[in-house]
Amino acid sequence: MIGLRRGIVRLYDHETEWELEAQNTISRLRALLGSVIKDIQHVGSTSIRSIKAKPIIDIALAVDDFNEILAREATLRDHGFYYRPGSQSMIPHQLLFACGSYYDGSGDLQTHFIHVV
């Protein structure tokens, strides 16, 4: 299972699906952003096999210049990565993108957070 309804917190035993989904997401981002990415890693609780976690995939994506990412915002959105500019005030020095049906308006699930640092 991947994703939770916005506003819900529930922990689950680790699932192999989380690592597979993280690797798939990393591959998709590499295809979209190419050399703009300096490093990209699956992070957060779903990356730790020995603990329970919320089934929301966190990816940390390192870049040299946020403007290179912001210039690709429309492309990222077209591929399901939605920029969350209001989040910047809560988390300084990073951009946040999110995935899930909550963001495209078709439902209420949050599935991924992409932390651009």
List, run by run, the mean pLDDT of 10-residue segments along the chain (117 residues): 94 97 98 98 97 98 96 98 80 90 95 97
Give the pLDDT of residue 35: 97
Give the pLDDT of residue 86: 78
Residues 61/40, Cβ–Cβ less than 8 Å: yes
Give the pLDDT of residue 93: 86
Residues 94/88, Cβ–Cβ less than 8 Å: yes
Q: Dig out the tokens for 111 from the structure.
A: 């599935």
Q: Please, which residues have CB within 8 angstroms of residue 33's CB and are 6 or more apart in sequence?
A: 61, 69, 72
Which amino acid is present at 20?
L
Give the pLDDT of residue 88: 61
β-pairing verdict for 112-116 and 57-62: parallel
Give the pLDDT of residue 19: 97
Give the pLDDT of residue 58: 98
